[in-house]
Amino acid sequence: RDERRAVRVSKYLARHLRHRPGDIGLVLDREGWADVGELLAAAARHGFPIGRGELERVVASDGKGRYALDGNRIRAVQGHSVPVELNLPVAPPPDVLYHGTAGRFVAAIRREGLRPMGRHAVHLSPDRETAERVGARRGAPVVLVVRAGRMAADGHEFRVTSNGVWLTASVPPRYLC
């Protein structure tokens, strides 16, 4: 029961810290931070009261480390569709990274490469198992292997979030194997 409530709170946070802050009158700064007091007040005002202690527990126990609390501010560490400047440093990726998707997207991906679709960047996983879980959200998963080391050598930039998701602008088809 607690677990279900935690998932609901996490989904509520994802919705408003990544995609639709304006729905509850929340303002994110350029780097995606919201004031915790404002977030809790806005949530309560819109019929979804969250306690401060509860928020802290959800952030600390979130299975994927989706949120960062920093004093009185909170942000989603990745996954945004609203414009934010995460200011993550460029980092050298491992030789290969993985992308989990559903079988029905594979033909288009092989043709066009990986595109960020609704988000800011293409999301890549450091291991096959994680990619499989990501792909399984949309159906029978297919895991694509990305030659990240070669991409970086060719000048593509990679960044890694605090929860271990690798981000890059797009992946041209020739780097997929």
Tell me if 129 contacts ligand HQG by CB under 6 A: no
- Name the segment binding ligand HQG (CB under 6 A); options: 53-61, 67-75, 85-93, 100-108: 100-108
Name the DSSP class of 114: B
Tell me which residue of 150, 105, 177 sits closest to 168, measured CA to CA: 150
Tell me if 150 contacts ligand HQG by CB under 6 A: no
* Residue length of the chain: 177
Which residues, numbered 2-61, are part of the site for ligand HQG (CB under 6 A)? none
Provide the token pair at 63.
Answer: 């299975």
Residue nearest to ligand HQG (CB): 101
How many CB atoms within 10 Å of residue 26? 18
Number of helices (H) and strands (E), helices first, in the chain?
6, 8
Output the smallest distance, CB 108 to ligand HQG, in A. Answer: 4
Which residues, numbered 101-120, are part of the site for ligand HQG (CB under 6 A)? 101, 105, 108-109, 112, 114-115, 117-119
CB closer to ligand HQG, 41 vs 170 = 170
Tell me if 64 contacts ligand HQG by CB under 6 A: yes
Q: Are the CB atoms for 36 and 52 separated by under 8 Å?
A: yes
CB closer to ligand HQG, 46 vs 138 = 138
Q: What is the DSSP string of 35-56?
A: EHHHHHHHHHHTT----HHHHH
Binding ligand HQG (rule: CB under 6 A), the pick from 24, 84, 165, 167 is 165
CA distance 88 to 162: 9
Tell me which residue of 73, 89, 82, 77 sits closest to 123, measured CA to CA: 77
Binding site for ligand HQG (CB under 6 A): 64, 66, 79, 101, 105, 108-109, 112, 114-115, 117-119, 123, 134, 138, 165
